[in-house]
Amino acid sequence: MAPSEARRRFFLMALTLACGVFACSLRDARAAETHLQQSATAPAPTSPDSAAQTAANKRATKLVTDETGRHMAIPLNVQRVVSLAPNLTEMIYALGLDAKLAGDTTYCDIPPAAKEKPHVGAPQDPSLEAIVALHPDLVLATTSINRAQTADALLKIGVPVYTSNPHTMAGMLSATATMADLLGESEQGAKLVAELQQRLDTLHAALQDRPMTHVLFVVWEDPLISIGQNTFIADALRWAGAESIIVASQNWPQVSMEEVVRLQPEYIVLTSDHLTAETHERVNNLRDRPTWSELRAVKLGHVVMASDEFTRPAPGLVDAIESLAHELHPEAFSTSAAEFAPNFPQRIVGAGPAPAGPARTTANAPAFAQFASARLRMEASICAR
């Protein structure tokens, strides 16, 4: 096959040539690119066509290392923030800094005003372009719902992204303080943190002589997914005088019913599905389900509903902790629970008329539920291959 052989040789030669040309052009392009990189990372934009105001804002920057170890330069005077997680949005509102919030995600629904802000997509895969289009001075992210790739990609094009990584209440409080610092409102942050810390200390003082209640925290019912030791939920439970019966190093372990039967939790803590009408149904469902109905906690009616704030490491979590503490240890508090916390979750056990809690009509599940369903979808996609 002589012609074929000749063609092969010709092809190889052409390929070598092409590679050579390519390598040469690459070297030039690389020089050009370094130039681009430098001007992009310089604190003061050198291009004259940038808007004067942006230039003024960006002139003074400080170097910051975030909780995941990424370094970045953040303007001293941050005016426009994009939040990539519901708990961060809630924090910004709690700090009274919502005027600086330029955009948030489609999951951000607390407080309701957050829904009116421009959205940049879902926390796991926001549109990077939509973020840039909001001209943020700073983007806030968290390891508990965002992907590392999002922060990496934004940092690469010169948009600072501060990622927080809260695993405990203390971590949540310090993240709140840091956030206030970054936004130039340190005093506001210190005030909020001191107030929250004080409420937690009061709780601790009331509960410290009481034994911990052993609870099963249900993240997801089918399959049964609970929490691991290193989650902020496990820490929040401890502040509420409760301890998860599940000991796991994974964050969201799938638990067998047998294990639950063996450990016999004193209380079962469900998370609210936003809709108050569903709560009775869910408890009745537990009573109707074979193994669940035999659990001591279900027979005694020891099933409580934690507010969905419990799933977000944000200031509202302290409310949720207080409510749960009153639910689990009513005798430790002199004032009645209903007086103490106005947004007290209804006690399902008595099944009286449900106090009208603020009904949240959002269709979005809490962060970890999204997360759990993602895991299921993923497993399904692997099984299918």
Q: How far is the CB of 275 from another protein (least distance, A)?
A: 24
Which residue type, as a one-letter code, is found at position 273?
Answer: D
Q: What is the DSSP letter of 147?
A: -
Residues 251-290 close enough to bind another protein by CB under 8 A: 251-252, 254
Least CB distance to another protein at residue 103 (A): 9
Residues 10-39 that bind another protein (CB under 8 A): 11, 15, 18-19, 22, 26, 28-33, 35-37, 39
Judged by CB under 8 A, the chain residues 137 through 166 that form the site for another protein are 143-150, 152-153, 156-159
Site for another protein in 57-76 (CB under 8 A): 68-69
Cα separation of 123 and 104, whole Å? 9
**Interface with another protein, residue 119, by CB under 8 A:** yes
Least distance between another protein and beta carbon 269 (Å):
21
Write down the H helix ranges in the chain. 2-41, 52-59, 86-94, 128-133, 148-156, 169-182, 186-207, 232-239, 257-263, 276-288, 290-294, 296-299, 316-328, 337-340, 367-384
User: Under the criterion CB under 8 A, does residue 126 sit at the interface with another protein?
Assistant: yes
Nearest alpha carbon to residue 321 among 193, 220, 180, 202: 202
C-beta separation of 75 from 58 below 8 A: yes
Question: From the CB of 374, what's the least distance to another protein, in Å?
Answer: 5
Contact 236, 173 (CB under 8 A): no
- Going residue by residue from 286 to 325, which x/- string records binding to another protein, judged by CB under 8 A? ----------------------------------------
Q: Of residues 64, 73, 132, 332, which one binds another protein by CB under 8 A?
A: 132
Q: Which is nearer to another protein, 28 or 222 (CB)?
A: 28
Strand partners, 236: none
Closer CB to another protein, 125 or 195, in the complex: 125
Site for another protein, residues 233 to 252, rule: CB under 8 A: 250-252
Nearer to another protein, 37 or 264 (CB): 37
Could you please report the per-residue DSSP string of 213-241? EEEEEESBTTTTB---TTSHHHHHHHHTT
Binding status of residue 52 toward another protein by CB under 8 A: no
Amino acid at 174: S
Question: 61 — phi, psi (to 5°)?
Answer: -125, 160
